[in-house]
């Protein structure tokens, strides 16, 4: 099976912004884009993206999950990067149209159609280091995918990093490629030195997020996760999991907490930890690595509460349970 996110459908949908106007969206080949070598994105990283999924239900129909939340976050990222604004309705139509065009390619569960809207600055102006791009390209790629962790359900090894941070604090809310690039070096080092799957960035002891996912701690019937602020990404899957947890009668505590509290709670029998994200969905953490020592979370295996929350989310996405929050959009 191909690695997650490496198979693309032959066409994408795009719209261009220039002279203060957006072009009409059009289907084009997905294997290339036309870009000047001096494009703003290549020199000053004026780029943001989103990740969402479409799911096939048993009757063959296809539904997009929480498209409105992802579009709202992309508009926010574009604004914070000073990229040209766009109407939410335009991007909604673009996403719906391209998913409908390739609806037959949407895999059966547990697979899905990964949807990647991307917005980049295209103005050819290498003198604009301190000025925004006047033109941009908005496009939507599709990639049929299976499980992000191809090895199946296994608990992850996560390094707790108190000295560094994933990205500049004022960039935390922006879903931009630069944030992922800045975290890559530390993640590769942690993988090489500790065989860690990810780093949980905890600058100054403040538990935040990993390089590519939000973090939650499950202590008995309580979920603890950092309160939203501008320093980290406001995950749509995070919000979905917390909403489902409340529906199931769990207590949700969104607050700051420290590495010391994390390790203290993790040592208790029955405690669980997990990473949430569009690709990972909800994946258990079995081991923390801190100051050269390893700490098991609970029994070190995937936790039953995290698996229950993941299944509850999947059941809504796959049409096996009621969508009482209006998260699904039929294409």
Say what the alpha-carbon torsion angle 243, 249, 255, 259 is, to the nearest 10 degrees.
-110
133-148: buried (b, 16+ CB within 10 Å) or exposed (e) per residue? bbbbbbbbbbbbbebb
Cα–Cα distance for residue pair 175/69, rounded to 1 Å: 13
261-275: buried (b, 16+ CB within 10 Å) or exposed (e) per residue? ebeebbeeeebbbbb
Half-sphere exposure of 44 (CA within 13 A, CB side): 20
Q: At what angle do helices 236-247 and 304-317 cross, to 10 degrees?
A: 100
Closest CA to 211 of 229, 237, 240, 185: 185
Count Cβ atoms within 10 A of the Cβ of residue 97 and give its class: 0-12 exposed, 13-18 middle, 19 or more buried: middle
Spatial contact of 126 and 79, defined as CB atoms under 8 Å apart: no
Residues sharing a CB contact under 8 Å with residue 294, sequence separation 6 or more, in sequence order: 287, 288
Give the rounded distance of the alpha carbon of 60 from its chain centre: 26
Tell me the catalytic residues. 175
Q: How many CB atoms lie under 10 A from the CB of residue 124?
A: 15
Angle (CA) 259 210 64, round 5°:
135
Spatial contact of 85 and 79, defined as CB atoms under 8 Å apart: yes
Spatial contact of 45 and 35, defined as CB atoms under 8 Å apart: no
């Amino acid at each position: 099976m191909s690695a997650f996110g490496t198979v693309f459908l032959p066409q994408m949908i795009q719209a261009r912004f220039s002279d203060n106007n957006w072009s009409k969206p059009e289907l084009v080949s997905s294997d290339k884009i036309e870009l000047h070598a001096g494009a703003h994105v290549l020199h000053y990283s004026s780029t943001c993206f989103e990740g969402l999924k479409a799911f096939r239900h048993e009757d063959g129909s296809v539904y997009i999950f929480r498209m409105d939340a992802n579009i709202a976050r992309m508009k926010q990222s574009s604004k914070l990067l000073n990229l040209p604004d766009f109407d939410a309705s335009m991007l909604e139509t673009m996403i719906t149209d391209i998913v409908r065009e390739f609806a037959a390619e949407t895999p059966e569960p547990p697979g899905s159609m990964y949807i990647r809207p991307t917005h980049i600055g295209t103005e050819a102006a290498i003198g604009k280091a301190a000025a925004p791009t006047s033109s941009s390209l908005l496009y939507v790629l599709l990639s049929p995918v299976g499980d992000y962790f191809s090895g199946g359900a296994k608990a992850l090894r996560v390094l707790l990093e108190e000295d560094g941070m994933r990205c500049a604090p004022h960039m935390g809310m922006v879903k931009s490629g630069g944030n992922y690039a800045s975290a890559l070096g530390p993640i590769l080092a942690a993988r090489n030195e500790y065989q860690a799957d990810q780093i949980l960035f905890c600058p100054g002891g403040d538990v935040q997020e990993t390089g590519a996912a939000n973090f939650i701690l499950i202590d008995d019937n309580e979920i603890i996760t950092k309160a939203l602020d501008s320093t980290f990404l406001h995950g749509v899957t995070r919000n979905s999991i917390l909403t489902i947890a409340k529906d199931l009668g769990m207590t949700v505590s969104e607050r700051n907490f420290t590495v010391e509290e994390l390790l203290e709670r993790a040592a208790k029998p029955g405690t669980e930890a997990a990473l949430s994200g569009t690709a990972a969905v909800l994946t258990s953490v079995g081991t923390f690595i801190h100051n050269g020592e390893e700490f098991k979370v609970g029994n070190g295996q995937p936790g039953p509460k995290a698996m229950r929350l993941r299944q509850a989310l999947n059941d809504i996405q796959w049409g096996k349970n009621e969508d009482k929050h209006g998260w699904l959009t039929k294409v």
